[in-house]
Amino acid sequence: MIQKQLWFKTDLFDIEPEEDQETNPLCFGRQLANWVKIRLDEESVGRAEIIPEDWGWCVVVQRKPYLLWVGCVSVHDYEKSASNDRLPQGQDIVWTCIVAAEPSFLRRLLGADTKVAVESLYKKLKQILVAEPAIVFVPQP
């Protein structure tokens, strides 16, 4: 699987109470995923849909000829955090967006090339994030 990733801080998104009941403990990002979906829809990137995953929230941009998606999640350290800790808020949260493509097993055998699609979606997502003044990029934690 080919993927590219961005990390940033912003006070635009909050953690919603109990949203990690649809993912896994401490995997937050529903508000970020909703925001990304709206921005991608405005850019006519596709008809995105949001689904919870065990690792966070997935904005599916296309399903065929392969799955192309943006993963949205807060960064957390399971060794230093517990699900009953006070949740971080606003600017204290490091968010990450992961752009990835997943061809089916058969498509992989046939040599599906997803590099161009991943790079294109990554560039579009980065433009969207850069255009938002409340977003500050940070190094990979």
With vertex at residue 105, the alpha carbon angle to CA 102 and CA 110, rounded to the nearest 5 degrees, is 100
Instruction: Supply the pLDDT for residue 50.
Output: 96
Exposed, middle or buried, 126 (CB in 10 Å: 0-12/13-18/19+)?
middle
Q: How many CA atoms lie within 13 A of 122 on its CB side?
A: 17
Higher-confidence position of 86 and 40:
40
Exposed, middle or buried, 60 (CB in 10 Å: 0-12/13-18/19+)?
middle
* Residue 82: both structure tokens together: 């517990």
Percentage of residues of the chain with pLDDT beyond 70: 83
Mind giving me the DSSP string for 40-105? HHHTTS---EEEEETTEEEEEEE-SSSEEEEEEEE---TTT--TTSPPP-GGGPEEEEEEEEE--H
Radius of gyration of the chain (CA): 15
With vertex at residue 66, the alpha carbon angle to CA 40 and CA 106, rounded to the nearest 5 degrees, is 175
pTM summary value: 0.88
Q: Per-residue pLDDT for 134 more than 80?
A: yes
Interval 102-129: pLDDT, tens: 865 555 555 667 788 899 999 999 999 9
Q: How many domains does the chain have?
A: 1
**Mean pLDDT for all residues in the chain:** 87
Q: Rounded CA gap, 74 and 88, in Å?
A: 10
- Residue 108, domain extent: 2-137
Range from 44-48, 69-73, 97-101, 131-135 carrying the lowest mean pLDDT:
44-48
